[in-house]
A and B are shown apart, each in its own frame.
Chain A
């Protein structure tokens, strides 16, 4: 098909723009216009309403009202939050009705017909009793023959209910067995990099979404909220209407870029360098927020040249060091019985204080005792330990990052980088919307680490309108650990990243030592679809796995390749509790309808399996949400807020983070939990997110100061660029959350098939145009799809929207070509760090 044969008359005819009085957006009507008439839907005749919520990994967690007539869920409508700006729902949430009653829904347990291939689609129906008995038997056999660590429970992000979701009751079973609970690898790089500076761990780095109203500039860096988290975008749009400048930095002109005041186009994978060059420019041109550096950062903290650690009471002077060592030993002894997590917590609780050089006295003192701490310089202890300040080390480190090289790598001009940096530094308050995209590379955490440093140097942290936004997570947690630990607790290893599983299962080893891995149970997960480099799962993991169980609503790629499939309930068929993200509420899910067909809630399945494996004590009959609720709300944090199951039943929605009418700012509303609450220009003790025994000894020294690392494959200097000239992105679309909603009929009408989105120049160079079938390929695999010429895609980029499953492709699958590798520090999926080529496909 060539070009557009349609008339353009409609354009002429629609431009009858009537001039109205100039208007500054919705200012005259109030930016925080309440949704609708600020009231929830009323039940229609014969209808009952139930309080519910969406539980996928979409950055929404919207409150929904389920309308039920004659025991059937007929409609979902957005349920109001106290802050009406948070109220909303999207086409996915609303169309969940079609997921519940979908003809593609798994109705009963099914076993792969003996003798048939995995994935061949030959199933026989079995009863629950048969299924549970068989699974229990297989697990027991594996445990008996290979030990409990040969059994893995795999969850990802399919459901965030505390009871039937990824935090639910399967880990209790894993703990009773002593089995592995694999660690999810999605989206962790962003937090890991930011944690180096803010100490905010995996998930707690963002400010509340409404904070952007106080920003003078919002930088949407490598993510596309218009498509993927429109509820966050709503706040950014309101900020824009109030005068906030919105800038999007992205390799493609995303839908968000189209709605921004400014679009900055960069080559994929080098954003970290850009941020470092900007940081260096800020320093070299005196644009640093000196007050922030002095008051809120660890600039003055001294670093020992010998150990590369801060000079602290834990290691100097000798008596202090000894005292600390003793305290650590005591903690280990006291808490050993409670497991490594308790030990770690106890050790972390031992107070440490840090030293600085006090210019006033010309000596080393503790931070709090210093009248005039030196930000820069080299010093020494009286006993001769050479020291530098953290800030000096950072400055030296940053000096190598030049605007010229940043321009070369990103494709921007030097003048622009300079001008943008000056603007950035001059802004009153900058929010960086960071989730997700930038992190989907092997240098993902380096990218976000660099940006965090830049934010620190410009003082864009811990004040209204400044910091990171995008995945604002609850700052309250229930006692999920309590849900998992019973008297029959044997051990729970949760440190093996799922991304390593193909290698582990294929070689039956980890870190070069034997590691049998034979049986896997996937719940709230679809690893066959969602793991990067799909052929790893299909060709290396599956053939070497003895037994695979999948629990799901639909026949996903994973379910299709399982040995046993168990039907799970939908979100509306159970009671549950979910703490929202990107809103400050926790919502109680009422059970709106009875489970359909023979489906069972995850919690019930865990209990059946638990009892079948002999753990009646840990999975007693009669346990229900009252039991689990009591556990969940038993921790101090819950008690402090007066949270109980009864209260949730009554109130349905409770604000569990922040204060109504205010905006939760990380580092302001809650202090940073870093050393002395200071942001880290230098990271004292960089640790990998997961310790699965990997040897990082040759890297540790290099992880204290932010640095630039090239992406693995997609960079401009990559040797692969000649063979595979296009960078492979897999944009997230508004029609799916990963693979969820992938088979909803009405959504398929809007989005019928996977497409390879390419720029017109790249298409023309290969003699293809919209509608032609193309093969997109690299050394890892291929897929055959329809081509779409899309001028929002830059030349040199191919994007196939994420979430299509293998049977929706003509051949192969889009996930085959993505990047399976991970950096052992964040152990984070790096999908976009990949290169491909494409060609016209002849059948």
Chain B
């Protein structure tokens, strides 16, 4: 199995609902976003490229790309970051992480990995989201887990579930009948930093 995403950039409206769902589902600390809606256009969020009225703007939602050839897995000195052989999910073992941040230096997708620079702070004094989501530790690196705690229950990642534009598709890329595999086969797509050779498992349908 090789779980991956197909994200339809024609449907995505950059609304941050997926990011917010992830934030709450995983009880992320203040200031931490594992998934971000990035604007492909002007120099600031929600601004377009060009000069009015000839302007263009689309959105890319970016989280860990769960690469097939992940740069991070290669460099982690203690193997805290590893690719699950059964599912292809790139996982993070918080207990093993020594906080050296080598993975953050190696990952070409700047911003998908976050380090807990302090004791995780929350505005709410109890854990929100799923009770099975891994608790957070200070001074370790974290990133999108592909909602591993949900996969374990046979459910899809929260970002996919909550996308109000129905732009996110997820499933087994190795299964030719799956939705994602079909979309990747039938639609034009692009991938982020494709010539870095990391073989990301996220396909942006264009």
Contacts and interface: CB of A to CB of B under 8 A. Distances in A.
B187 A75 contact: no
A670 to B, nearest CB: 29
B15 A792 contact: no
B160 to A, nearest CB: 7
B24 A94 contact: yes
A305 B195 CA distance: 77
B172 interface: no
Nearest to A91: B20
A794 B49 CA distance: 14
A234 B48 contact: no
B188 A19 contact: yes
A44 B133 CA distance: 11
A97 B24 contact: yes
A516 interface: no
Interface residues of A, number: 78
Contact of B190 (A17, A237, A746, A790): A17
A351 B24 CA distance: 58
Given A26-B8, A28-B186, A98 B165 contact: no
Contacts of A4: 43
A78 interface: yes
Contact of B188 (A20, A234, A790): A20
Contacts of A26: 8
Q: How large is the interface on B (under 10, 10 to 19, 20 to 34, 35 or more residues)?
A: 35 or more
Contacts of A177: none
Nearest to B36: A750
Contacts of B193: 10, 13-14
Contacts of A18: 188-191
A45 B131 CA distance: 7
Contact of A793 (B52, B123, B164, B206): B52
B130 A44 contact: yes
Interface in A716-775: 734, 745-747, 749-750, 759-760, 770
B1 interface: no
Contacts of A795: 52
A335 interface: no
A276 B46 CA distance: 34
- In terms of DSSP, what is the predominant structure of the interface of chain B? loop
With a 10 A CB-CB cut-off, give which of A33, A230, A746, A794 has the most chain B CB atoms.
Answer: A746
B128 interface: yes
Interface stretch (B77-85, B139-147, B177-185): B177-185
B164 A88 contact: yes
A265 interface: yes
Interface in B1-38: 8, 10-11, 13-17, 19-21, 23-25, 30-31, 33
A95 B15 CA distance: 13
Nearest to A734: B15
A88 B21 CA distance: 12
A28 B162 contact: no
A91 B15 contact: yes
Nearest to A790: B47
14 contacts: A13-B194, A13-B195, A16-B195, A19-B188, A20-B186, A20-B189, A21-B187, A89-B17, A98-B123, A226-B13, A237-B11, A749-B33, A788-B47, A790-B48
Interface of B: 8, 10-11, 13-17, 19-21, 23-25, 30-31, 33, 42-44, 46-53, 55-58, 123-132, 155-156, 160-162, 164-166, 179, 182-196, 206
Given A17-B206, A21-B186, A90-B15, 18 more contacts: A14-B193, A17-B190, A20-B184, A29-B182, A35-B166, A44-B132, A46-B131, A70-B126, A97-B24, A98-B123, A103-B123, A233-B165, A237-B10, A255-B13, A258-B48, A258-B55, A749-B31, A790-B46
